[in-house]
Amino acid sequence: MIKIVHSPYILLLFFLSIFLFSGCDSGYKGTFPPVVLEFATIQSDEEGQLVFLITDEGHQYAILRDRTNTKLNPKEYKRVVCYYELSESKEGVILYTLSESIASVPIPRDKVEEIKNGPITVQSSWIGGGYLNLIVQVRLKDPSEHTFAFIEDEISFIDGVQKVSLSLYHDEGNDFFSHTDRSYFSIPLHQYLLNDKVNAVEISFSYFDYSGNRQTIRDLLEKEKRE
């Protein structure tokens, strides 16, 4: 059972306290610890408590304090987007917020009975940590009506390069447009580098926008950048 608690109010109070403190003492010349917002991977212990945060650069930090009170399955890894503060020793972090990222392994097209092409808007995309990461906007009223997955349309291998064509599965259910919400995708790419003959993975990821047009994102993941 996954229980991720979003804590935007904690982060708001954190920044507000900084603002008030600096406003009360105009002579203060110190600096405040930076709060980082980024995609990362978290790991739990035998009790399901969060113990490590792993960045896309490969740094592993002990979680000194989890202000989200997140509970995972024992010894589980979870892809998230989070606000955190790095400790002075640079060995640990304090977590302020967590949002779960959709990070399911792509499904072969022949395993999907019916393709759903619900639209999205992509704000940004990049490769990091062996994932294709996307920040997207979705028009909806009830988030529970929406189902997302990633479809593996085609794979080919040419001269050391694994060419992978992926597409978005988006079932909107019976939902209708009320407002726009932000979602996070992290498409795993590690599995395409397991073959020793593969030096790089050339990714194309397609989806439909709200104008009904098919859009395609292309990127490259090189094996040496993962080591």
Cβ(29)–Cβ(73) below 8 Å: no
Which pair of structure tokens corresponds to residue 171?
């079932």
Question: For the chain, which residues make up each domain, given as ranges?
Answer: 8-100, 107-226
Sequential DSSP letters for 134-198: EEEEEEES-GGG-EEEEEEEEEEEETTEEEEEEEEEEE-TT---SEEEEEEEEEE-GGGG-STT-
Give the CATH superfamily of 8-100.
Answer: NigD-like N-terminal OB domain (2.40.50.500)
User: Do 107-226 and 8-100 have the same topology in CATH?
Assistant: no
Question: What local confidence, expressed as pLDDT, does residue 33 receive?
Answer: 56
Query: What predicted TM-score, i.e. pTM, was given to this entire model?
Result: 0.82
Please report, in tens digits, the pLDDT of each residue of the chain (227 residues total): 333 344 444 444 444 444 433 344 444 444 555 788 899 999 999 999 999 999 999 999 999 999 999 999 999 999 999 999 999 888 899 999 999 999 999 999 999 999 999 999 999 999 999 999 999 999 999 999 999 999 999 999 999 999 999 999 999 999 999 999 999 999 999 999 999 999 999 999 999 999 999 999 999 999 864 44
Architecture of domain 107-226: Sandwich (2.60)
Question: What local confidence, expressed as pLDDT, does residue 45 receive?
Answer: 97
In sequence order, what are the beta bridge partners of 85?
Answer: 35, 94
Q: How far apart are CA 75 and CA 64, in angstroms?
A: 17
Question: What local confidence, expressed as pLDDT, does residue 89 receive?
Answer: 85
